[in-house]
Structures are given as structure tokens and as C-alpha cells.
């Protein structure tokens, strides 16, 4: 099983899609890496030899922040927003959407399960 940046890549998939299993590498970066390495994107991951895998691995290490380092960087950015008490930081702290989405309806992913609030029932009089 090919291994790049500490991640086992799926063998049967084309290398263009297999690279996208690495956190921080999407379609564009995967295509750029393969172009720089001179590898055909239609080849399967198990067809690559050790030299090609090491070339890809070197390119990723030199040019991209991936996996643990990227996750750590994102967490530090969010923590900085919280500490500076910015609007976005407060939204992160409260567990609400931070990018201007509506919360009157939807936003259940960020807000969690519904919490029913006792409201006024029709009061007569």
C-alpha cells in the first residue's frame, strides 16, 4: 500500500484521487503536484514505483502544509480569534455559524440537537 505524508493511500484508485485522501490536498493541489512530478494522473496508486512516490512526498513536504500541522494551524487560528474576542471568535465560542449563515432556521449542524423552550401558549383574556 503506497504511503505518503504518513497516510496510506488507496491502491486501486487513480493517483489524482488517492492524493486527495491527504488532509489539505484537494483536486487542484493534487493535479499541481502530479504535473510538477511528471506523473500521469490516470495511473493507479499501486502502479507507482518508490522513486515516484518519494518525488511526490518531497514535493508535498516542501510546498504544502498537510495533516497534523494543518489541523494544528487551523486550531491555533480559531483560538486566536477567541482570545481577541472578535465577532468570529465569539461565534466559535458559542458554537454558532461563523460565516454569516442564518440561524433562525437551519444551522442544526453547528447548534446541535433542538432544545425545546417553553413558550407562551395562546393566552385568552
Specify whether 51 is located in the same domain as 76: no
- The domain total for the chain is 2
Examine residue 121 and state whether it is found in any structural domain, yes or no: no
Q: Are residues 27 and 57 in the same domain?
A: yes
Residues 56 and 8 in one domain: yes
CATH number of residue 31's parent domain:
1.10.8.50
3-4 and 7-8 strand pairing = antiparallel
Residue 63 has a pLDDT of: 92
- Both 55 and 30 in a single domain? yes
Of 55, 19, 37, 12, whose CA–CA distance to 28 is shortest? 19
Neighbours of 54 (CB within 10 A): 13
Asked if residue 113 lies in contact with residue 123, where contact means CB atoms within 8 angstroms, the answer is no
Is 97 found in the same domain as 53? Answer: no
Q: Do the domain assignments include residue 117? A: no
Q: Tell me the percentage of the chain whose pLDDT exceeds 70.
A: 97
Global pTM reads 0.78
41: phi then psi, degrees, rounded to nearest 5: -65, -15
Average pLDDT score over residue span 3-15: 85
Asked whether residue 118 is domain-assigned, the answer is no
62-110 pLDDT, tens digit per residue, is: 999 998 999 999 999 999 999 999 999 999 999 999 999 999 888 899 9
- pLDDT tens, residue by residue, 78-87: 999 999 999 9
Compute the mean pLDDT over every residue in the chain, rounded to the nearest whole number: 90
Amino acid at each position: 500500500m503506497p504511503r505518503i505524508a504518513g497516510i496510506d493511500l488507496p491502491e486501486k484508485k487513480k493517483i489524482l484521487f488517492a492524493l486527495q485522501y491527504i488532509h489539505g490536498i484537494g483536486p487542484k493541489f493534487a493535479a499541481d503536484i502530479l504535473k510538477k512530478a511528471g506523473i500521469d494522473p490516470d495511473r493507479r496508486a499501486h502502479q507507482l514505483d518508490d522513486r515516484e512516490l518519494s518525488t511526490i512526498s518531497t514535493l508535498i513536504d516542501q510546498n504544502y502544509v498537510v495533516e497534523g500541522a494543518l489541523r494544528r494551524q487551523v486550531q491555533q487560528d480559531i483560538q486566536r480569534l477567541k482570545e481577541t474576542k472578535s465577532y468570529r471568535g465569539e461565534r466559535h465560542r458559542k458554537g454558532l455559524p461563523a460565516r454569516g449563515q442564518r440561524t433562525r432556521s437551519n444551522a442544526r449542524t453547528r447548534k446541535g440537537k433542538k432544545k425545546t423552550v417553553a413558550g407562551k401558549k395562546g393566552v385568552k383574556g
